Structure 1
Amino acid sequence: MSESEDYVYDETTGEWRAASATPTPAEPAGTVRDSVGNVLADGDSVILIKDLKVKGTSQTLRRGSVIRSIRLTDDPEEIDCRHETIKGLVLRAEFVKKR
């Protein structure tokens, strides 16, 4: 006796397809993820996971520093943020973790 397979009706094409063949929804383009894979959004707070030297200044942002109210950019690898001492700071998402 053969096993029965589940089918799903595809409304766009009007056809029945095997449930195993239906595509899973893809992640939207431009989704920004932190170093551990959490999705970041505008207004989130993040923590630095590494000491970072800031180009153009003699300052170093220390590991564990909290950055509040981030803004996402067009580049999914970068976030725009503000620190008490540095304005117009852009960080790579690979160096932060969502708080």
Structure 2
Amino acid sequence: MDIVVKDSNGTPLSEGDTVTVIKDLKVKGSSTVIKRGTVIKNIRFNGSEDEIEGRTDKVKGLVLRTEFLKKA
């Protein structure tokens, strides 16, 4: 069973892709905010078609909902 992960525009994503955040997001458990336009490189899938894992310069080990991302 293959999981098809899509961004907010319906574009299929692959592991290792680069995505851009389309909305300011608060990080749970931290006072950090990921600003709109932040680029997240080298994404990984975690078994859910609605979530990906990635990292930014400030925060490592992020789990992000695909509804807030678009393929770069």
1:48 to 21, 27, 49: 21
Tell me how far 1:73 sits from its aligned partner: 1.4
Large movers: runs of 4+ above 2 Å: none
In structure 1, what is the equivalent of residue 54 of structure 2? 81
**Fraction of identical pairs, as percent:** 50
Unaligned runs of at least 5 residues, structure 2: none
TM-score, scaled to structure 2: 0.95
Cα RMSD between the aligned structures? 1.0
TM-score, scaled to structure 1: 0.70
Structure with max Cα Rg: 1
Equivalences, count: 72
Tell me how far 1:51 sits from its aligned partner: 0.3
Report 1 or 2 for greater relative contact order, CA contacts < 8 Å, sequence distance ≥ 6: 2
Please give the per-residue CA displacement for 1:22-60, whole angstroms capped at 9, x wherever unaligned: xxxxxx741000000000010000000000000011010
